[in-house]
Structure 1
Amino acid sequence: MSSEIPVKQVDPSSDTSDNNNKSGTVELYASRKKIYVKEVKGFFQRIRNVSLLVLMGMYFLFTWITLDGQPLVLFDLPAREFHLYGMTFYPKDFFLLSGMLIVSAFGLFFITALFGRVWCGYTCPQTVWTFIFMWVEERIEGSRNQRIKLDKLPQSSRKIMKKSLKHAAWLLIALATGLTFVGYFYPIRDLIADIFTFQANGWAYFWVGFFTVATYLNAGWMREQVCLYMCPYARFQSVMLDPDTRVVSYDPNRGEPRGGRRKDAAPTERGLGDCIDCGQCVQVCPTGIDIRDGLQYECIGCALCIDACDEIMDKMDYPRGLIRYTTENELEGRPSKLLRLRTLGYGVVLALMIGAIVFVLATRIPAQLDALRDRGALFSFNGEGRVENTYTLKIANMTEVPQTFLVSVSGMDDIRILTDTRITVDSGENLALPTVVDVDPETIEQSNNTIRFRMSSETDRSLIVETESRFVGPNR
């Protein structure tokens, strides 16, 4: 895989320069040339179709599925509750979100170091929606050549009808995308009813409209421009690649020199390689590059060029793999390593973070109890002559149902709670409960004592939480 970049010297004063550019200046901006992607079938396209169906099915269905009466996925911002796969999280659990983001980042680094931009080629939302929009375009306007001819034709009723039908289908998909996205923050059944009966609030209409327009523009109009100019991943991926990274590559040792020939002509007789210079790899590329020019940041690793080239190789009775997933070392005849220091480092960090998150989730108690002693007064004597301390119990119910808790205290002889000991806490509620504890002064042996508050649920007998605090009394 060559790392050299071909350079062409341009003389602005030469006769071949742009006639309108008399001053000799060089234009740094080039208008976008529309890319007409040719449809291709093959092994990697089938993999993408499966991943597309799975991802789109998850995206559009998860917001409708309920589990034990709760949505499978719902980020309820007003209630500050986040329902994920049968578990409910609260703002205090945001450290888990940080952990999940770190897992996602190192997972991306790990996969990129091994296989390049497979995330971009198979699972990136921009790629997924772009391929859906291109599929719709092919069904309505026809093949690549038919679309090129249609765009060159003057305006006619047939052309207007096809274009209008295509854009209407795009907008319908974009609207479904916007409604579903907002449905992850606003219960989808209520959202659909409120949107179409004009009962939803203004923010719901704004965000549905925003994601509808964004989907329509990104997947329908901008397409590869998002990958080339807006996505930062295309720019920093190079720091994660090395000569052992397996990426989509053209084999120049086998393919060069290129040239057309008859099927029954042996390429060696004409001094040619296996590449017949048909241009199919360029026509199927969604970013419009020529993979034969070497690795380029525009390549999203979608492997459509592999399927197109393999199809041509089959027709010519040549071995497949002129364009394939391979490494720079393999192209240059050197052995390639799958596991190396970089991939091992990413893999170890990824495994540790996943293990830590699984451990936290497995040991997560769906209730929390904290005892905050009133520091405004050390202690006081009540009417019975007993020593009192005042506390604020912070009780959080992180289960899906209301819980009735019994609160008790231990750690000193004859210690008791004077305030309510039976408390009902709603699902997701955080309750601050003023609590008074007293002790017979004759039983106090030291001025500072450790006590334990215990909270057990009547609703769920297995739910028991304890916390420590301090009881302060007079010196003996």
Structure 2
Amino acid sequence: MSERIPARNIPIETSDAIHTRSFTGFYRSLRLYGAGILMLLFFGTSWLTWNGRQAVLWDLADRKFYVFGATIWPQDLFLLTALLMIGAFGMFTLSVFAGRVWCGYACPQSVWTWMFMWVEKVTEGERNQRIRLDAQPWSAEKLARRGAKHGLWLAISLATGLTFIGYFTPIRAMVNELLHLSLDLETVGWVGFFSLCTYINAGWLREKVCRDMCPYSNLQSVMFDADTLIITYDKARGENRGPRRKDEDAKALGLGDCIDCTMCVQVCPTGIDIRDGLQLECISCGACIDACDSVMDKMGYERGLVRYSSEREMAGGKTRWFRPKMVAQTVLLALLAVGFVIAFLHRPLVALDVYKDRGLYRENSDGQIENIYSLKVINKTQSPHRYAVSLDDADDFALQGASELHLAPGELALLPVSVALTDNDGKHGSRPVVFRVRDLDNPDTTVTTKSRFVSP
């Protein structure tokens, strides 16, 4: 007898929980490899060292952000703001091209949810086993399985919370203090907060975050156009739906290629039926494509009944890859990225702030008008440097006080100086004066700051 593909598998549902079926396929593998790389970066980067300290660390106490060999100071926060803007614009550009693929493949909510779903499979079994377990009364076996699941969820959540806080507090010291039960209550509170958020979001809320809490799901329709790649069901090929044996002639039965097995629904992490068309809940993860392709293989049909396609292609046209909107956004994104790299590489590695004394002016022993200033000089590099202080265009002025200083990596120095007016030449009142700090170890590195000189 010919192999018969099951038409439907309709277990008794006891709750609104979504129980996904295990599956294999190209997009699942792509997602697993991508998630593995992201997990390795997230959990591994915090443990890397650079020049004897943590390689990536946001030191809130000293207001410094270390990224390997670079140190980002509060004066450089515009770079971080620019980077976040580039990331957001990049995601919008990606959405115009291929919909919510960020959500399906790289969003932390999705990555952690897939991980928690894998824990469910390991501890409670496959989809039908989990559904039956939900319907069963409490027993020792159910308690053990549920306890193992939630124990692993909590362990992953704790590791996530520790790692996240480890980017703000040196992770090695923090973990050591935790093991010796000497971690301060404030850090314990923050670790607990982010651990709880991970546990609730990935374990309990799941698709509700994507559907109801994430604003991106409601913004996607604004960014899509007729050529955006989205996951689509080919109705012209799939309808009418219905079960059949593998050796039966579907056309003779008046049926399309869809055998109505609902496998695409059973693997969907948000529980939608992609055959109903594009929905806000769809995160473009490709799970339904893998499931449908496996069924098409068993039936001997061509793959692609469910596939990434565009509205234009489904209407009989051809997807336009190089459309003006897409090209313009890609070029603008590339220019923003290049501009960021240039700004980062050319950021000043020494900072100079000038504070004028509250007194307007005074007369020194030589009868010259004098103004007092405090210079705040910061060595923004990770090595010691020597700096020279001078005035720009100082024909009428003389700098009095220390003109050279040595600063350790990241050191801040307050340098009191005075500026005397050597040639008034009939000029009175307020005029600009420009201070310059030059790195003697790297003469190309200089920074200037303008202030005011006041005379009677």
Structure 2 length normalisation: TM-score? 0.90
* Aligned twin of 2:366: 384
Tell me how many residue pairs correspond in the alignment.
442
Separation in 2, partners of 1:410, 1:49: 58
* Aligned twin of 1:406: 388
Paired residues of 1:76 and 1:185 also in contact (CA < 8 A)? yes
Give CA-to-partner distance per residue, 1:374-433, whole Å, 9 cap, x none.
Answer: 57435x442234453433323222112343323234634596433122323444344442
* Aligned twin of 1:340: 323
1:72-471 to structure 2, matched below 5 A, reads 72-372=55-355, 376-377=359-360, 380-409=362-391, 411-412=393-394, 416-438=398-420, 440-441=422-423, 453-458=435-440, 463-467=445-449
What are structure 1's unaligned runs of at least 5 residues? 1-30
Paired residues of 1:102 and 1:353 also in contact (CA < 8 A)? no
Q: Helix, strand or coil for the counterpart of 2:252?
A: helix
Q: Helix, strand or coil for the counterpart of 1:195?
A: helix
Identity %, equivalent residues:
45
Separation in 2, partners of 1:459, 1:199: 43
Separation in 2, partners of 1:403, 1:257: 76
Letter in 1 for 2:70: M
Separation in 1, partners of 2:130, 2:15: 17
What are structure 2's unaligned runs of at least 5 residues? 1-13
Q: Helix, strand or coil for the counterpart of 1:337?
A: coil
- How far the C-alpha of 1:135 sits from its partner, in A, is 1.0
Q: Helix, strand or coil for the counterpart of 1:268?
A: coil
Between 1 and 2, higher relative CO (CA 8 Å, sep ≥ 6) is seen in 2
Paired residues of 1:130 and 1:219 also in contact (CA < 8 A)? yes
Separation in 2, partners of 1:94, 1:466: 19
Separation in 2, partners of 1:340, 1:458: 52
Paired residues of 2:360 and 2:454 also in contact (CA < 8 A)? no
Q: Helix, strand or coil for the counterpart of 2:348?
A: coil
* Aligned twin of 1:10: none
Letter in 2 for 1:340: R
Paired residues of 1:36 and 1:147 also in contact (CA < 8 A)? yes
Aligned CA distance change for structure 1 residues 376 and 320 (closer, same or farther; 3 Å): same
Q: Helix, strand or coil for the counterpart of 1:242?
A: coil
- How far the C-alpha of 1:460 sits from its partner, in A, is 5.1
- How far the C-alpha of 1:362 sits from its partner, in A, is 1.7
Aligned CA distance change for structure 1 residues 222 and 376 (closer, same or farther; 3 Å): same
Aligned CA distance change for structure 1 residues 412 and 176 (closer, same or farther; 3 Å): closer
Aligned CA distance change for structure 1 residues 166 and 469 (closer, same or farther; 3 Å): closer
Structure 1 length normalisation: TM-score? 0.86
Separation in 1, partners of 2:74, 2:332: 26
- How far the C-alpha of 1:332 sits from its partner, in A, is 1.2
* Coordinate RMSD, CA, aligned: 2.4
Separation in 1, partners of 2:97, 2:232: 14
Separation in 2, partners of 1:201, 1:260: 62
Letter in 2 for 1:405: Y
Letter in 1 for 2:377: I
